[in-house]
Chain A
Amino acid sequence: MKAWQYTGLAIALIFLGVQFVPNDLPEVSQDNPGDLLGSGIVDGEVADLLQTACYNCHSNATKYPWYSQVAPVSWLVAKDVKMAREEVNFSTWAEYELMDQLAILDDIYSNVEEKHMPLPIYITMHAEADLDDVQRQKIVDWAEAAMDIIAEEY
């Protein structure tokens, strides 16, 4: 065997080996009574947009594509989803204080407007999350309106 063949074999073995490392992808749950979608503050097209472009990471209802089960991609996905849910988890919306809900909506506003979210790397694999300017504006307008409603309750 030649040197490149040994290298190829080694890479293949390492690839197979890492598949045995547990992937610890965050758990999925479809039963989320405190979800934003049931809060009455969002419906229609914006609700659809959030589900399409945000919910895979920022909710408990993650739909993992097949490649997210394969190391080393699984490690990246696990880390991103875990961090995303810590930052904001729409499935536990009702548990946030009103002021924190306002802070989250304010962050949605700026992150969506400035195209920090959805993450560019996520969009490369999920074309449906590639929001156009009109869609972004709809989310931004909704976030501001929702903030006004919540601030009135406060």
Chain B
Amino acid sequence: MKKFGLLPAAAIVGLLFFQAAQKPEPEKHPDLNLFDAKMPANVKAVVEQKCYGCHNAESKNEKGKKKLDWDFFESEKKSKQLATMSKINEVLTEGDMPPARFLENKPEGKLSDEEMAILKEWSAGKKKKAE
């Protein structure tokens, strides 16, 4: 009787290992890879973690998607990208993003000081005045 009890137990233990080994990689957004070439890796990392959830092509947050779609950003022409960066810089400076109402339910969505600095520096571009 003892012998028969051992086998299923071993099988279950074995299964646990199997599942652990097969654990899928954390989900990645393949579309974000599109702008590898242009966006610095550290910027992309912050965007992916803190912005992409609402600002993507499949977002249910219609307003967020309409204002900024990261899946679309890199395929846009230079003038549009620069315009978007300027607007990103403004909302960050004003403290409007991520939205306060969103952070009420998801305080961990707040940008750390370091993340904020990374996004601000990138979105500021090279400041240049019209001649």
A103-B86, A103-B87, A103-B90 as given contacts; A97 in contact with B80, CB under 8 Å: no
A93–chain B nearest beta-carbon distance, Å: 8
Interface membership of B15, Cβ < 8 A: no
A100-B86, A102-B86, A103-B90 as given contacts; A147 in contact with B79, CB under 8 Å: yes
A39, A99, A147, A153: the one within 8 Å of B125 (CB): A99
Question: Which residues in chain B, 56-91, are within 8 Å of chain A measured between CB atoms?
Answer: 77-80, 82-87, 89-90
Interface membership of A10, Cβ < 8 A: no
How many residues of A are in contact with the other chain, CB < 8 A?
A: 21
Max count, chain B CB within 10 A of own CB: residue among A103, A105, A147, A153: A103
Q: Please determine whether B77 and A102 come into contact, CB atoms closer than 8 angstroms.
A: no
Q: Please determine whether A154 and B77 come into contact, CB atoms closer than 8 angstroms.
A: no
A39, A94, A154: the one within 8 Å of B82 (CB): A154
B131–chain A nearest beta-carbon distance, Å: 8
B33–chain A nearest beta-carbon distance, Å: 24
A99-B85, A99-B86, A100-B86 as given contacts; A106 in contact with B130, CB under 8 Å: no
8 contacts between A and B (CB under 8 A): A93-B130, A97-B127, A99-B83, A99-B128, A103-B86, A103-B87, A147-B80, A151-B77
